[in-house]
């Protein structure tokens, strides 16, 4: 099944489940939670390292989504809407703990670099493993230093596989801004990686 068709039928399934949940069918919302809990947990774990904390914030995000569900009108895909709630929940959680919320839009670059890291692992010598670890640390450091909007944009693109349109909807900004953020995030990561790769 082509991706476009799969995405459309997924969206229709989600819309049907949302409609049933809005009509009071709790099992329909439970199905949405089952469908997306891993994606939401993965998203939150990009910001928080402690697994039990990730679980707590995930549950909080789904609880907020459940409470906000009556106001969901389907103007965007359900996951785009849920993603926005999850990101806001993580940011609020980190602010409440006195931690700096992470930059959001840089993680697309990380995914590309990690994918490139797979090639390094094919011939896993100690030197190559060391370089691969150093690249991963450098990318993570670059991500951590990115402004929130850049990190979020790149993460949505590379880790969540969202289109530019979907990212624009999730981040509530024009598509040109999304393109610019992803470009700037990739540029910042590339700048940090270049000395390692040229060595």
Q: pTM for this structure?
A: 0.53
Mean pLDDT of the region 28-50: 87
pLDDT for residue 115: 35
Backbone angles phi, psi at 20, to 5 degrees: -65, -40
91 and 113 together in one domain: no
81 or 160, which is more confident? 81
Tokens (6 digits) for 73 = 């009108």
27 and 67 together in one domain: yes
pLDDT for residue 85: 92
Alpha-carbon span 60 to 121, nearest angstrom = 37
Residue 68 has pLDDT above 90, yes or no: yes
91 and 149 together in one domain: no
71 and 128 together in one domain: no
Segments in 2-147 forming alpha helices (H): 3-22, 26-45, 51-68, 78-96, 107-122, 126-145
114 and 53 together in one domain: no
Query: For all residues of the chain together, what is the average pLDDT?
Result: 77
- Summarised one tens digit per residue, pLDDT across range 141-199 is 887 888 988 888 887 877 677 888 888 988 889 989 998 998 898 888 878 877 776 65
């Amino acid at each position: 099944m082509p991706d476009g068709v799969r995405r459309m039928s997924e969206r229709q399934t989600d819309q049907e489940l949302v409609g049933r949940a809005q009509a009071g069918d709790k099992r329909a919302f439970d199905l949405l939670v089952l469908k997306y809990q891993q994606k939401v947990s993965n998203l939150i774990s990009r910001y928080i390292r402690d697994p039990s904390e990730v679980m707590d914030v995930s549950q909080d995000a789904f609880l907020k989504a459940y409470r906000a569900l009556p106001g969901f009108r389907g103007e965007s895909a359900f996951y785009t809407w849920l993603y926005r709630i999850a990101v806001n929940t993580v940011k609020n959680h980190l602010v409440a703990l006195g931690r700096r919320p992470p930059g959001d839009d840089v993680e697309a670059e990380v995914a590309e670099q990690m994918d490139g890291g797979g090639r390094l692992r094919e011939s896993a010598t100690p030197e190559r493993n060391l370089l691969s670890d150093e690249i991963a640390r450098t990318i993570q450091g670059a991500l951590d230093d990115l402004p929130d909007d850049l990190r979020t944009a790149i993460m949505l693109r590379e880790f969540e596989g969202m289109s530019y349109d979907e990212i624009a909807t999730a981040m509530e900004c024009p598509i040109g801004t999304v393109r610019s953020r992803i470009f700037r995030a990739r540029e910042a990561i590339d700048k940090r990686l270049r000395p390692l790769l040229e060595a």
